[in-house]
A and B are shown apart, each in its own frame.
Chain A
Amino acid sequence: MANQPAIDPMHQFLIHKIVELPTFHVGKLAFDMSITNSVASMIAGAAILILFFILTARREIVPNRGQALAESLYNIIDRVLVGPIIGPEGKPYVPYIFALFLVILVLNLMSVVLAIFNVGGLELTFAVTSQLAVTATLAVLTFFSVFILGFVKHGPKFVTLFAPSGMPWPMLFFMVPIEMISYFVRPVTLAMRLFGNMLGGHVVMSLFGSFVVALGIVALSGGLATLAFIPSALSFTMIVALTGLELVVAILQAFVFAALATVYLNEVVNFGHGH
């Protein structure tokens, strides 16, 4: 039992430095700009995205597979989200929502697909989107860009967002705080949703992966313990099924984040229409 690998599903989320780089101090905050495993995954994700679009963004009338994939991704944002939710006025915001969707999608997918290399002990993959620092950055960035855009577009009357129209005025004492809380909790829910989904999925996958190995090692000790191969094989089946599920979650969470960002943006772009 001593040589068994420790079952530690949190190990995969540990950050360690790969390349040491200087630290910048901004006020009291210390920005350690070292390339960590997390940062390396972000850079790889950005590189994959840029390479993908350089290779596939052609202008052919009859698309090949790569171009069709790139166009499908673009249509998810342009035709499925922004078009129906915001309308033609949403066109200028498509690149932002598209970038948001692509970044989350590629980081989510990398963390699931590249996990295959973990089998050989290569820790190439790192679930960047399971880092609360990253999802919170995305959520805060999106939320405040939209919030500031509201004031830029509509001026001070944007605060009437918190006062539902057609309400007797005494009710406003209750409604305005409720509306404000439900509004400002949005970045928290955005960050937590993505973080929780990716964290949970990876913990469960890691657990079942550990079971496969741990139970397999127990089974190798012979005798009655050989029966441990059965739960080991079951765990292996589970991990295959979970990988499929996690692929769906990876795509779905990117879509959900983009969809919510579009819905929030819609309130700003179509402010005052049917509000």
Chain B
Amino acid sequence: MATETQESTAAPEAKPAGLPQFDFQWWPGQIAWFLIMFLVVLVFVRLFAAPRVGGAIDAREGKISGDIADARRLKDEAEAQAAAAAAETAQARAAAQRLAGDARAKAQAEVAAKLAQEEAKLAEKAGVAEARIAQSRDAAMTHVAGIAAEAAGAIVGKLTGRAATPAELTAARGS
């Protein structure tokens, strides 16, 4: 090392033998300057570059995972709401069906009641009419007996010359 330094200082114009890197006269200065430069960069990186760049990366990852968690939570909420809405719809549909069933049953019952009422009314009217028919027929039948008795009396009178008594006529008709 010492000989190298002496050679290059003694003959600065002469080309140093071998690699210029082994010209040791430049080593202390280069090492000192390099250490200064490296220290400056190290302090800069330690205090500014690394925390800032690393912080930005961490912040981005935090934001992304936070956003994903938010989205997942919102999705769960939406699904829960959809389920609740579906349940409500089902309930409403059931209520509507029950209401419709009730209304139908009530209407049928009303119809049946009215029908029965009308039938009863008709049956009553038919009964009255039948009774009147029977009455008329009975009446007619009694008239028929009278007429027959009269006719029989007249026939008897014509044949026998004497009028038959009503008692005889009645007896005759009964036989």
Contact = CB atoms under 8 A, between A and B. Distances in A.
Contacts of B25: 32
Contacts, number: 136
Contacts of A234: none
Interface string A1-30: 000000000100111000000001000011
A263 interface: no
Interface string A85-126: 000000000111011001100000000000000000000000
B38 A71 contact: no
A63 B56 contact: yes
B56 A36 contact: no
Contacts of A34: 29
A22 B86 CA distance: 88
B90 to A, nearest CB: 44
A61 B57 contact: no
B26 A36 contact: yes
Interface in B14-51: 19-23, 25-35, 37-38, 40-42, 44-46, 48-50
A103 B48 contact: no
Nearest to B51: A95
Contacts of A94: 50, 54
Interface in B66-105: none
A15 B46 contact: no
B59 interface: yes
Contacts of B32: 24, 31, 33
B155 interface: no
A195 B20 CA distance: 13
Contacts of A96: 42, 46
B56 A59 contact: yes
A78 B23 CA distance: 38
A131 B48 contact: no
A141 interface: yes
A134 B29 contact: no
B29 A36 contact: yes
Given A61-B60, A67-B56, A78-B54, A131 B30 contact: yes
A96 B46 CA distance: 7
A38 B32 CA distance: 12
Interface residues of B, number: 36
B173 interface: no
A71 B54 CA distance: 7
Contacts of A185: none
Given A33-B32, A42-B33, A137-B35, A61 B41 contact: no
Contacts of B40: 46, 50
A50 B46 CA distance: 12
Contacts of B20: 10, 13-15
A132 B33 CA distance: 14
Interface string A141-163: 10000000000000000000000
Contacts of A70: 49, 53
B53 A99 contact: no
A49 B26 contact: no
A148 B81 CA distance: 62
Nearest to B45: A99
Contact of B42 (A38, A42, A99): A99
A137 B34 contact: yes
B37 to A, nearest CB: 4
A96 to B, nearest CB: 7
Interface of B: 19-23, 25-35, 37-38, 40-42, 44-46, 48-50, 52-57, 59-60, 63
Interface of A: 10, 13-15, 24, 29-34, 36, 38-39, 42-43, 45-46, 49-50, 53-54, 57-61, 63, 67, 70-71, 73-75, 78, 94-96, 98-99, 102-103, 128, 130-134, 137-138, 141, 195, 199
- Which 4 residue pairs of A and B lie closest in terms of their CB atoms, listed nearest first? A57-B52, A53-B49, A99-B45, A95-B46
Given A50-B40, A130-B21, 6 more contacts: A15-B20, A46-B41, A57-B56, A59-B55, A95-B49, A96-B46
29 contacts: A10-B20, A13-B19, A15-B26, A24-B32, A31-B29, A33-B32, A38-B26, A38-B33, A39-B30, A42-B37, A43-B33, A46-B41, A50-B44, A53-B49, A60-B56, A61-B59, A73-B53, A95-B42, A96-B46, A98-B45, A98-B49, A98-B50, A102-B45, A132-B21, A133-B27, A133-B31, A133-B34, A137-B35, A199-B21
